[in-house]
Structure 1
């Protein structure tokens, strides 16, 4: 009888233990759920605070006063003298730095990170072009001069300090269209380890007053931050033409942009490891101030290739192509007198099309001669159109 009672008591005890365990597990799961809900509540509270908090006003620091207050130009309009919040590092507040003010505009709450204009940022060539000096024919002298002016000061600046001279700041490439000015700049970008910044001068011409000068200033600031760097300004005649006393408001704005460029090239702030390459087809219309020493110290002519240069250019392009039979490079060079490097490339492309139209997968000498004749006809047609334009303009 007592044994039965003990068995019943043991079974009741085990049921209670199981119940307690179930309740403990339930409590744990509820505690976890409460913790998750608390986190979710805190998240939504923080989001509500963000949505309800007043917006901050952006301002630019103009000056730091002796008493620690700061003179700023507010984006909402007026210049203000404001205090600095105690958690802000005073050493970060410098003229030109962007800061955030509270809604009343009475205190600096945050120092904003340095920002770059998207237009300026897009000018940096992130993926360098795959062009080497060995792929440029007939310009050995120009390549040597360019390397002396641009690459040598960046790679070995000590030699100039030892001799006691300042390295050249920039080089101007000039010559007819298609002679390889831009290709030379691409080769510099590939061969050097410097940051390469490419800009077409017409991008400096903006419709708002002062915008062009601002872009020039910020472009050079970015180049200095990322030095060693190379700035390549293509078609510089777009903003570098001779200045005139009378002109439209647009022309005056371009002149202001040119003056800012001149100031950056030869101003109080040294360019250090920043080199400038510019290119133009019309050196005759450039402002004399651009050409004086101290700005573009080296002016390099990139002429139409001579006979030897044309042979080298044909050899460079034909190495990449599949051809059959003998190719007489000297004869091709004689037939293409007055052709630029771009014209010779066009001859090779046109010869490839002749072969494709005939159902062949290789170019012959006859294809190249036919392509030369076709490009010659196009060149003469374009020259006639140009003569007519000049006649009636």
Structure 2
């Protein structure tokens, strides 16, 4: 996410290294590179120019604190300005209605239908809501089928009327159905087009007027850059939507849309899509995103994801096993599964301060644990529960069964032993700190 922009900004700040004070000369050179980095990221020229002017005004003549270098002070100023540019505060979704009605808008191919499912799953699992998905794309039967597939996948009911060609009627009937059957959130997925046209705008405006949604979200493909910003403006002029959803931020995006869309339409980014899975959805936090763009990681989001997978009862059982020296490979496998549920590995690594930069040329795949899992699955139940019985012959058999080398089995055994000793020493916070300990267990096993 924003790898190129992060690298270029890092090079820009490098200009200030070794200087004891921010001056007109060195700040001008730095900001020239910052502006160039933003333009390369597909940020609008005027916005990039205004941004660097504000940074310059704050930076010129600033005294360097005793614990800071000029480069660090500039990073702080840029971080604060980036945060403001992307909205400043985190904006929540309005769920005040009963049912709360959320209208989805956007072009065809922006990921609108998939995101409708992600949002329904998010509200169901994290907000304890009972959502209803509504298929209002009357032009593409495939869109209705797609929404039903998504609904089945996440266990959420989908309301559709395949024979009805009136989107307003379908939406109104769906709301009646929701009220009669105890649904407290209605998510209306509307038709998209390949480009903005009058017919499309009239139809969604009619749906909007008829159902009076509590929340109207504009879904946009972040990889389309400034085109995304221009499309957002066209929709906002007609719908006056409440917030923006940026999809496909996990791709090789230049980031211009994420950085500038708020300043153009003056509406907050509320959610981002970070992958294809139904749980690949994050609330957008401008400050955290600014940290990530500047290569500072996002520890808060990482901890939140870990807490979502944290089971206190399981942690207590695990702590007892550690105290009795009964921690085995089955327990190890369970922890791997919990880490995998937190999201794709590249995204997780990007949340660790400094890790993204240190590993920028390392390919981190979602199947980073596949060799470890294969080795553990090749062990017998007794070997997994009592690793100490695994001798040379057993290692040869395990390596053959897992399609790995004996050296890799030895490496896993050594790291497992080290981690077991570490957790034994940690004891007091073994369960809570297990994620940290797991870092050593995965090193070198990819």
Using structure 2 for the length normalisation, give the TM-score. 0.31
Structure ranking higher in strand proportion: 1
Larger Rg: 1
Structure ranking higher in helix proportion: 2
